[in-house]
Amino acid sequence: MPEKEGLDGQTFWVWPESLWAPIAFTKTYLKRRDNSHEDWIKWWFDPDARVYQFVGEDNIYFYAVAEMGLFMALNEIAGREPLSGLPIIVPNRHLLYCGKKASSSSEAKPPGAAEFLNFYTNEQLRMHFAHIALQHNSGSFFPKAMFEGQDGFDATLAEGNILTNVYNRLIRSCFYSMQKHFNGNLPTGEPEPSVTETARATVEEYEWAMYRFEFSKIIDILDVYLRDSNKLWSAEIKLADAMDKEGQTEEALKKRAVTLLNAFHAVRTAATLLHPFAPEGTERVAEFLGVGDNLWNWNNIHEPLNFFIKQDHQFKFLEPKVDFFFKHPSQL
């Protein structure tokens, strides 16, 4: 290494093939997908493309130092700008398995990924791992369901419950109310300004946290947003029910319409924000809404649901007790 802060003559060793492995992985995936592995150049060098590498703290020297030097040299040889296509490094501390550092080279061997899927869904695990906040400190992963005789609450499910309990409830409430009171059609009108302002503020918080790779904060932001949206729904529907009991049928219907527009705005906003963490469930939401990939376009993030549908739009009918985000069969 060059002299730095009084140190010189130092050497660190690295396997060069491990540094270009991410490119090899990209080529292999594209070849399996459509037999066109040369498309890897678009993924790495297109001006609109960004490559992110999530790296453990013990590999920072390899990928944040040696890899960058290697890639800059190869770019120069290929006639590209030296900084072209360099990956963005996302450093992480260690994920401890049951409080211990586990690896294939240590005495404590971690289970294979497939073993976890015998007890949890991939979206439950993804939500949980995102919330551990490895960007700040090492965190422990204790999948209680994998150990016999472990009763009580399983912390691995805490973040997934935001999807399987809180978000599921809000989406179902919207569909069942729309089917019961509005013949399955979205009422005309717009969400209330207070609702769109809350959504906009949530999006801005999310953007800033995502820019800083603070995924744990994103999960907290979405947790608060969805719980508050459920509370607003419950309070407003109670008012509409009270109006119905008092014979104010027309006023109650207007109240339900506004409540539905408000709640659906929360549903569509949350679907876009959660898509990177729970793609299967959120795409199921989009399927029932009958909207296309425009829902994931960040340019449309502040648009209400009626922006994505035509006037005579038909939503997919939601049968009783249908979920959008699933629990693992072993949890039922």
Using CA atoms, how far residue 251 sits from 242, 274, 313, 332, in Å, is 11, 34, 25, 41
Walk me through the domains of the chain, giving residue ranges and CATH numbers: 157-331 (1.10.730.10)
Tell me the whole-structure pTM to 2 decimals: 0.89
10-residue averages of pLDDT along the chain (332 residues): 74 83 90 81 89 90 90 93 92 88 76 90 96 90 85 91 97 97 94 98 98 96 98 97 95 97 98 97 97 94 94 91 95 90
Beta-ladder partners of 55: 91
Kindly give the interhelix angle for 249-274 and 279-289, rounded to the nearest 10 degrees. 140
Q: What sign for the dihedral angle of Cα 11, 12, 13, 16?
A: negative
Instruction: Name the 3-class secondary structure at 153.
Output: coil
Structure tokens at 265: 């705005």
Q: What is the DSSP letter of 86?
A: P
Structure tokens at 314: 């038909």
Which pLDDT score is estimated for 1? 61
Which pLDDT score is estimated for 314? 87
Using CA atoms, how far residue 92 sits from 132, 137, 157, in Å, is 11, 8, 22
